[in-house]
């Protein structure tokens, strides 16, 4: 028997929860906070019109390839038509001599910058809002990525650069921080994390992936840096009504909670229980450099994952406009 406590033991029977807050049929969770007024609050952050796309490259052939949660594979993309199609006989002929290229792809929906469906993780047989975990079998019937994709995510984004705040290119494996650290870093940056902000947190770990360029070393003792569980931190997210957490790590939080060794408890405490949308593997370095250059750390954040019916998540290329 493992000595590791269960997720339910760690989070507690009275874990902070938003279940039922937006009705029994809700599949959007804390994204409900992002109404038209929040979109306008986001627009008000725009000063210079600089645009930053936050997706990493998908299907990069050069080493080190794409950063992935262990066990997942990168996109397998292949041409089914290109100029060579017309080398032989039997190619389709179109009036005017049109040629074109087509391709197919097999992808892990969580295999790039992505939105998790709210039902992507669970414990004790229940998903977000109390949906039965059996509703995931075969296809995600409840709290899939589709409602998030149909709504779209638009609001005031704020970037907290934890790596820069700690004077590092990237945080170490297993290095943690909490809501007090976020507040301290934001204060040092001269920005306030406001209610309903899309909270973007840079650890530098994506930069580490590309600059290290050594998969073996990256995955050796795999334990990403990130936010770590405490009841106070979960209360902070609930009280601030944070709709969406975006990070430049594969899984948004320190992989193993240091006290208990439990894997990814914030996925459960924030996403399953509070309905906070999680966006992973974001490229935040160029945005961070621009923010640091002129000291403005808030922006318009716009994102919509692909409308994958029953999807457990979907790729996304969020856009930040300053």
Angle at 120 between CA 217 and CA 266, to 5 degrees: 65
How far apart, in Å, are the Cα atoms of 116 and each of 119, 136, 314? 8, 14, 7
Query: Which of the stretches 34-42, 54-62, 114-122, 181-189 binds ligand UVW when contact is defined by CB under 6 A?
Result: 114-122
Query: Which of the stretches 39-47, 116-124, 149-157, 298-306 binds ligand UVW when contact is defined by CB under 6 A?
Result: 116-124
Binder among 110, 112, 228, 244 for ligand UVW (CB under 6 A): 110
Pairing of strands 153-161, 198-202: parallel
Pairing of strands 319-321, 198-202: unpaired
The smaller minimum CB distance to ligand UVW, of residues 118 and 251, is found at 251
When asked if residue 280 is in the footprint of ligand UVW (CB under 6 A), the reply is yes
d(CA 276, CA 270): 5
When asked if residue 116 is in the footprint of ligand UVW (CB under 6 A), the reply is yes
Q: Which residues contact 235 (CB under 8 A, 6 or more apart)?
A: 16
Quick one: DSSP state of residue 30? G
When asked if residue 121 is in the footprint of ligand UVW (CB under 6 A), the reply is yes
Binder among 162, 251, 274, 277 for ligand UVW (CB under 6 A): 251
Quick one: DSSP state of residue 59? S
Instruction: Give the shortest CB-129-to-ligand UVW separation in angstroms.
Output: 18
When asked if residue 266 is in the footprint of ligand UVW (CB under 6 A), the reply is no
The smaller minimum CB distance to ligand UVW, of residues 257 and 280, is found at 280
Residues touching ligand UVW: how many (CB under 6 A)? 9
> Could you write out the DSSP letters of every residue in 215-252?
HHHHHTT----EE---HHHHHHHHHHT--EEEESSSSS
Candidates 14, 263, 7; CA nearest to 125 is 7
When asked if residue 198 is in the footprint of ligand UVW (CB under 6 A), the reply is no
Show contacts with ligand UVW in window 155-194 (CB under 6 A): none
Show contacts with ligand UVW in window 11-50 (CB under 6 A): none
Binder among 59, 60, 69, 240 for ligand UVW (CB under 6 A): 69
Candidates 177, 199, 299, 280; CA nearest to 243 is 199
Instruction: Give the shortest CB-26-to-ligand UVW separation in angstroms.
Output: 21
Residues that bind ligand UVW in the complex, under the rule CB under 6 A: 69, 110, 116, 120-121, 250-251, 267, 280
């Amino acid at each position: 028997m493992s000595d590791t406590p269960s997720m339910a033991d760690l989070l507690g029977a009275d874990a902070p929860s938003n279940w039922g807050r937006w009705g029994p049929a809700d599949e959007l969770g804390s994204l409900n906070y992002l109404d038209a007024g929040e979109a306008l609050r986001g627009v008000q952050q725009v000063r210079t019109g600089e645009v930053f796309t936050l997706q990493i490259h998908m299907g990069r052939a050069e080493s080190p390839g794409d950063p992935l949660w262990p066990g997942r594979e990168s996109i397998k993309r292949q041409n089914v038509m290109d100029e060579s199609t017309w080398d032989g006989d039997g190619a389709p002929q179109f009036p005017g001599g049109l040629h074109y290229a087509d391709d197919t792809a097999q992808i892990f929906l969580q295999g790039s910058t992505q939105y998790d469906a709210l039902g992507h993780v669970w414990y004790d047989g229940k998903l977000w809002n109390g949906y039965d975990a059996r509703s995931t079998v075969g296809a995600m019937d409840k709290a899939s990525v589709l409602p998030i994709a149909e709504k779209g995510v638009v609001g005031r984004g704020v970037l907290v650069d934890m790596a820069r705040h700690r004077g590092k290119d990237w945080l170490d494996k297993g290095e943690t921080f909490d809501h007090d650290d976020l507040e301290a870093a934001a204060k040092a940056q001269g920005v306030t994390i406001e209610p309903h902000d899309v909270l973007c947190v840079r650890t530098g770990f994506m930069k580490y992936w590309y600059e290290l360029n050594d998969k073996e070393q990256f995955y050796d003792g795999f334990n990403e840096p990130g936010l770590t569980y405490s009841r106070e931190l979960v209360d902070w997210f609930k009280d601030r009504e944070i709709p969406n957490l975006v990070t430049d790590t594969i899984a948004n939080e320190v992989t193993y909670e240091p006290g208990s060794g439990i894997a990814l408890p914030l996925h459960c405490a924030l996403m399953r229980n509070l309905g906070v949308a999680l966006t992973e593997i974001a490229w935040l370095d160029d945005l961070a450099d621009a923010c640091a250059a002129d000291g403005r750390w808030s922006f318009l954040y716009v994102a919509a994952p692909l409308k994958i019916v029953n999807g457990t998540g979907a790729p996304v290329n969020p856009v930040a406009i300053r």
